[in-house]
Structure 1
Amino acid sequence: MTINKRQLFFSLRLKFLLAFTLFIVAPVLLMMYLYFVQSDKIFMETMTDTQTQVLKRVTDRADDMLNRTLNVSNLLINDYDVLQLLRSSGLSNLDDYPTYQRVIGLQSKMDNLIAYILDNHAVVAVYGLDGSIYATNQDETILKVMPDYVKQAKEKNGAPAWDVNPSLKVKGLEGNQEGGFITMVRLIKGETTKGYGLVFIAFPIKEMFLGSSGVEEDFRAQFLISDRSRLLWGQDDLWNRIESGNEQSLFTQTLKATGWQLRWIPLQEPWLQQLKNVRSTTTWSVIIVFACFLFIYVYFTLRLMKPIRSLVQAMGKASSGNFEKPALAGGNDEIGLLSHHFNRMLSSLKEMVATLREEQQLKEEARFLALQAQISPHFLFNALNSIKWLALFSGAKNVADMITSLGIMLSYSMKQESEVVTLKAELDFIQHYFALQKIRFNDNIELSIDVDENLLSARMLKFTLQPIVENSIIHGNRIPLVIRITAYHEDDLLFVTITDNGQGLSESKLADDDSQRSDPIRQGKYSGIGLENVQSRIRMHFGEPYGLFMHNRLDAGAETVIRLPWRGMEDSA
């Protein structure tokens, strides 16, 4: 069954699909969109809170370390033994036992103080302006950098001078010096204004961030900024982007001990990757669930549509007159009941059509029997009148022949065994009929029959040829008139052609708008068995594709073609 675009657009399948899209797919997609938007918001809030807390812990740890460093420096610059050692010549007086005792005591104090600051991961040194040094780490690197810090200590005049030395490397602290050291120096003044020396304390800057979960991974995005907005520690290229406005420092904390700022640009890639992984997992889960539900939905939709399509196809065939194929009935739901009732209706219609066809056939048989009983009185009158005049004006032997032909015709027309006869019987009847017509028209008409003997057993209806031949005689309007009958077999069809050399069908009648008047088959009715009657009998008996087809010939005259199914009398009906 052909489905046009309008039917497809308004089909139940499309409506089910639209309903599924509007009431299931669209709400779920909207919920997913809101979920992703909300998750972004929650992610940013959570990340901000977490990073702020982590940076606060880092800041507190750094302030604690700086305060402890400051406390250690306070103890050393106010220690009496330190002042006595710096007043003396230092190493030159080590032979003096009291001086030696002071050195040993100072060394012990500094060892204890370094443990207070960091567990032996710092450097504490007392440096005399005369070049003497007392340090917890005897690396010569410490002695080399001391002159550089004297100027800082003197500028501060006893106040702590904080700085970051990214290039300082101290033996014994390998593996924990990445990023350099935070240094603090203070001038040991005593009772003088120039001072005797300075206290130097240094610890790895990385120690400020160890133990703070979540910071070590972002180590390269941390910066220490001095109170004069100078970069003390951090990656220069990233800091330059911040200064130029290409990057923004999202988190800032101030170190109370130094006034420095700790700025942190958190690296969001791990967080975003986790969020992406969660989204990817969620998306694929939704897609898989949707695919499963869509498969189940399509499966049940197709199962639901199958009996409906069968019912629609059966209705389409029934509307075309085919009551053979019932609808596919199944189940006890509304569709199953509808199919069941439709099948019952189809069966009833089939029985009604069969009954009507049988009644119609009985009517046609009765009509045919009535036709047999009323061979045209006009024809009988003309025939008998011809016989009379022939008998009056000549005692020819033709009288006997005419009477014989007339008797054979009457016998043929009154036989009631069957409506179907052979082509041979019809041709024999036409020959006797034509013999009488020749006498009527003074031998001005001729009949030519050219039919193969293999076709003589073909089945056809009684009184099929006689109305056509009579139509040619009446409408020929030409003397002499020649009528020719031929037959041939092609593609399981039998074609019987009756042609004449008369004037043919009227062109004005063929062009008439009224099909009832312009149809030559409807016009031909002379013997009581009109051409329309022959047409109806053929189509009722054999089907719509068969019947009479009339047209004018190219040269002259008219041609009538009878198309019938090829069946021999020996074949089953």
Structure 2
Amino acid sequence: MKWKIPRLLFSIRDKLLLSFVIFIMLPILITVMVYYEASKELLVHEINQTNAEVLGKITDRMNTTAERIVKASHLIVNDPDIVDLIRNDRDIEINDYSTLQKFMGVNRKITNIRDFLLESEAYVAVFDFKGHMYATWTSRNAARSYQEFQKEFWFQQAQTAQGTPNWQVAYTNSIENDYVPQRTQLLVMTRLIKSDAGTGQGIVFIGVPIQAVLPEFSAREDRTDPAPAASSQLFLQLDGSLMLGSKDVFDHLSLDALDQNTTEKAGYLINKSVVKQLGWELIRATPQQPFTGQLQALRNKSILWLTLLCLFFCVVFILVMLKLIQPIKILHRSMVKVGNGDFTSIADIRGNDEIAMLGHKFNAMVLNLRKLIERLSEEQRRKEEARFQALQAQVKPHFLFNTLNSIKWTARLSGAEHVSQMITSLGKLLSYAMNHDREVTILKEELDFLQSYVNLQNVRFNNEVSLDIRVPEELLASSFLKFTLQPLVENSIIHGHRSPLRITIEAYTERGDLLIVVKDNGIGSPQRPPSEPVEDQRLTSSKFSGIGLNNINDRLKMHFGEAYGLTFERGETEGVAVTVRIPCLRGDSQHDKGTDR
């Protein structure tokens, strides 16, 4: 099955419109899309770079805070008063002044260590295993607080850590204090205080609010909403376990299986850093939608406006094309009419552009064609009239020829021999002229015709005209146009004005051409020195002013080409020589060949 393309697709309008869409609008649309993608990549890269720098600063702050906590724990663990107090097997007696002084001194040391190394909102406490708690805060019921702390998971982990700092994230529920907000998350470090024998004697507790370590963190980070948060979130993880942050978002993004090289995941930009002091990984997840959404909205708006502009310009383009194509349609309709033979059709196209110029040239061509056809029609009509007149005239020469024959025999029988010769010569002239079926003859027949013509002229001029023919025998059979030499001889007789008049006809060949020279001994012309040739000149002198000679010259050029025709030489005192140049062809059958030349 062959697919046929609609003809409308081949119109200039559709081609230009298609080219406008493909080569202008489509590249612009592609450029907008490429620019959008490049802008998006650049924006994502810049934001990712900024997040990495911010996360690095947060990590440095956490490392600094962790170092201070560790130093504070060193001071507590290695303080002799604190160690001596928790090693005492006796219960603290309030009434025992020395013991009370030690108790209050330990509390002051713990408070001073906190104020010196940590922020004022940090919580520091020392627990022994006899139920005593030394803390920077005042508890309403120390015994109950101690029991609550014993239940915390970090309390038992510190006993098994053998003095190594143990880091956790815990709440402040066990800290009974009117000034401590409930459900406050703390970065907690616990550490076992060991004796010289290596046995545990107490636990150091240091807690710093997460807000002090991570100002960017807020209570929303710990929510368990089913949908991911729409803003940046921080996560702390240890060996794939979430220590801090939204568990649902953590599980949704699969941050526990995060690759070190991962930068994008589930529409989030992921940045990762390691807190060396804690051994934890700090992760920042920033959703792309807030900043890429605006860029995408701008892209959609640009595409919408571009589409509207494209449609608008297409409509304008079509209107302009219709205006431009309308003259072409008018010209096409006129061409169709002219092709069907209506030469009166004129393309009415106005303006000065190329199409208008084409229309003007077409109208001029149609006008010339109309004139040519009218001229051809007129020539055809004249040819028909000439043919009819020739048919009419053909009867008269035949009748005249037959009548002359009768007169000739009557004159011969009556003894008038000179009358018989005149009639014989006239009959030959009529016989030669009556051969209308061919235009080309041979040179011999033309010369015989000239001899009969001169014989008749001698009757008029009393044998004062002599014709001397000097043509080689081999040239007598050359092809020759009828009635070419007779007008030349006639002009010599009429305009020679000399008695006796001698006319000489010579013939020779030159470079494949046949040259026939007709000379007389007439009075000549005083206007030009003798024997100076005048070639390719219109025969308009006084002697050659007859229409016949001009026609002969044009006729020769028409048959044989512009290189052939008549030339003449005039003497100041005697004679004119006219030269006929034609191709040298053999026989009258060569006429067509000569004409082609």
TM-score by length of 1: 0.50
Q: Deviation per CA, 1:55-97, whole angstroms, max 9, x where unpaired? A: 3223222212211211221222223443354355898444555
Q: Aligned pair 1:210/2:215, yes or no?
A: yes
Distance 1:318 1:271 in 2: 69
Q: 1:252 is matched with which residue: 250, 255, 272?
A: 272
Report what 1:224 is aligned to. Answer: 236
State the Cα distance separating 1:14 from its structure 2 match. Answer: 1.9
The amino acid that maps onto 1:83 is V
Find the residue that maps to 2:287 and give its secondary structure.
coil
Q: 1:146 is matched with which residue: 145, 149, 152?
A: 149
Contact preservation (8 Å) 2:173, 2:183 = no
Contact preservation (8 Å) 1:68, 1:116 = no
Contact preservation (8 Å) 1:69, 1:117 = yes
Cα 1:212–1:223 change in 2 (3 A) is closer
Distance 1:237 1:11 in 2: 63
Q: 1:233 is matched with which residue: 230, 233, 244?
A: 244
The amino acid that maps onto 2:243 is L
Find the residue that maps to 2:317 and give its secondary structure.
helix
Distance 1:173 1:295 in 2: 73
Cα 1:176–1:111 change in 2 (3 A) is farther
Distance 1:6 1:150 in 2: 87
Q: Deviation per CA, 1:167-196, whole angstroms, max 9, x where unpaired? A: 85756454983xx33211112335564344
Cα 1:206–1:348 change in 2 (3 A) is farther
Contact preservation (8 Å) 2:231, 2:287 = no
State the Cα distance separating 1:345 from its structure 2 match. Answer: 5.1
Report what 1:59 is aligned to. Answer: 59
State the Cα distance separating 1:328 from its structure 2 match. Answer: 5.0
Report what 1:188 is aligned to. Answer: 193
Contact preservation (8 Å) 1:58, 1:212 = no
Cα 1:330–1:104 change in 2 (3 A) is farther
Contact preservation (8 Å) 1:241, 1:247 = no
The amino acid that maps onto 2:66 is L
State the Cα distance separating 1:198 from its structure 2 match. Answer: 1.9
Q: Deviation per CA, 1:303-327, whole angstroms, max 9, x where unpaired? A: 3223333333343445456677754
Q: Which has the larger radius of gyration?
A: 2
Contact preservation (8 Å) 1:161, 1:184 = yes
Contact preservation (8 Å) 1:220, 1:235 = no
TM-score by length of 2: 0.49
The amino acid that maps onto 1:181 is L
The amino acid that maps onto 1:300 is V
State the Cα distance separating 1:17 from its structure 2 match. Answer: 2.1
Q: 1:307 is matched with which residue: 327, 331, 342?
A: 327
Q: Percent identity at matched positions?
A: 29
State the Cα distance separating 1:13 from its structure 2 match. Answer: 0.8
Q: Deviation per CA, 1:513-534, whole angstroms, max 9, x where unpaired? A: xxxxxxxxxxxxxxxxxxxxxx
Contact preservation (8 Å) 1:242, 1:248 = no
Cα 1:8–1:131 change in 2 (3 A) is same
Q: Aligned pair 1:273/2:284, yes or no?
A: no
Cα 1:166–1:176 change in 2 (3 A) is closer
Q: 1:158 is matched with which residue: 160, 163, 179?
A: 163
Distance 1:279 1:246 in 2: 34
The amino acid that maps onto 1:232 is M
Find the residue that maps to 1:232 and give its secondary structure.
strand
Q: CA RMSD in A?
A: 4.5
Q: Deviation per CA, 1:111-166, whole angstroms, max 9, x where unpaired? A: 45545666444322222322222323345696444213443222223221212226
Which sits farther off after the overlay, 36-45 or 303-312? 36-45
Distance 1:91 1:296 in 2: 101
The amino acid that maps onto 2:123 is V
Distance 1:316 1:211 in 2: 84
Distance 1:310 1:101 in 2: 120
Find the residue that maps to 1:306 and give its secondary structure.
helix
Report what 1:197 is aligned to. Answer: 202
Contact preservation (8 Å) 2:149, 2:174 = no
Find the residue that maps to 1:159 and give its secondary structure.
coil
Q: Aligned pair 1:331/2:378, yes or no?
A: no
Cα 1:34–1:72 change in 2 (3 A) is same
Report what 2:133 is aligned to. Answer: 133
List aligned pairs for 1:6-85, cutoff 5 A: 7-39=7-39, 41-85=41-85
Contact preservation (8 Å) 2:217, 2:234 = no
Find the residue that maps to 2:236 and give its secondary structure.
strand
Q: Deviation per CA, 1:454-482, whole angstroms, max 9, x where unpaired? A: xxxxxxxxxxxxxxxxxxxxxxxxxxxxx
Find the residue that maps to 1:158 and give its secondary structure.
coil
State the Cα distance separating 1:200 from its structure 2 match. Answer: 0.7
The amino acid that maps onto 1:260 is W
Cα 1:14–1:225 change in 2 (3 A) is same
Find the residue that maps to 2:199 and give its secondary structure.
coil
Which segments of 5 or more consecutive residues in structure 2 lack a partner in the other structure?
Answer: 222-228, 263-270, 386-597
Contact preservation (8 Å) 1:90, 1:132 = no
Find the residue that maps to 1:182 and give its secondary structure.
strand
Which sits farther off after the overlay, 12-21 or 73-82? 73-82
Contact preservation (8 Å) 2:195, 2:201 = yes
Find the residue that maps to 1:277 and give its secondary structure.
helix
Find the residue that maps to 1:18 and give its secondary structure.
helix
Find the residue that maps to 1:224 and give its secondary structure.
strand
Distance 1:306 1:165 in 2: 86
Report what 1:453 is aligned to. Answer: none
The amino acid that maps onto 2:194 is K
